[in-house]
Structure 1
């Protein structure tokens, strides 16, 4: 799936839709920790991961951007550190000039006002004024894979981000997952429309029947019931 198609299809989805689709397809749901969020509310990213493991110097980002393609998302691993900012406005501007779709930082940023003015979506754990005061040895695979929270991210992954956070998706499964996410979205929109029209969700999903069946079969789960009636909530 090329970048234009990915952006077009994700434009009408949310990371929640995609996460539910991952559950349905038994793909691990790889969400960045909840503290990682968009610097500007409403920011959205969708692109192939461009990994860069930070060791104290900006050159790793320049090298990653040099090897990137338009539409990629720079994924910065600074170990979740909260004592230094590793990305500032110049790196964001450089990424924007190279046509990247955004930046995800497992760490902090700075130059918040300038980043907001630039408009390139940036996701991070927050901001602090100070940059790095160290220079560590660079691992040989610093541009091959990174860690975001509990997850390893490589160029074989797609990065999707919105107001709910950041989700990582294997590129090889993107078509399957996005198609299912679109069906979940459409089902939920129909359900919401019917609620607005006066039909409670409980009626739509035959909740009274579920309660009656559960009394007969205590092991019956609501998710099993939803699958039988075509509901999409909780998945």
Structure 2
């Protein structure tokens, strides 16, 4: 539940989707939450830079496939820029995995467009709070995309990365691909949530990655999850 402070200072969201009907639907959904505010909508990636400067969103929900400047190019263009919002990709269930390129470029999570509405709202909140945003269902799709096109080098690299971890970090990493939150992992392993956060931070440092979605990709490439 949002706190009174969150309701008075709502999370500012920019929706980027060339499908006006889809954008209207996601806007209507997010507007049902008092702590979320959709501040703008872009029909293509070219409009994004100006919208970010003028609207200062905290989170950007960005479609993967758009004519002209697609979602992956949008993420790449914003990587490392001061004031850039945290980016949550939106994709159809039957996409070909382009979202993996977006994750590699800096997106912090992704949602399936026909996701449960509650999951979409929670993912936006998670991303705004500095976490990654993806549901168990999206996590399964992420794993499937990765496992459908593995390479020997990618699998070897992933296994080597897993070999750098302590036993506890290894267990957390494998469990993470289910899309579980920190709180859910803490309950699963009977530890404090701070223990989970510390372990995941240590994994990201050892692997030289930025977020838990990239962490899930590495685990999926290992073939162990």
Q: TM-score, normalised by structure 1?
A: 0.29
Higher share in strand:
1
Higher share in helix:
2
Q: TM-score, normalised by structure 2?
A: 0.30
Compare CA radii of gyration and give the structure with the larger one: 1
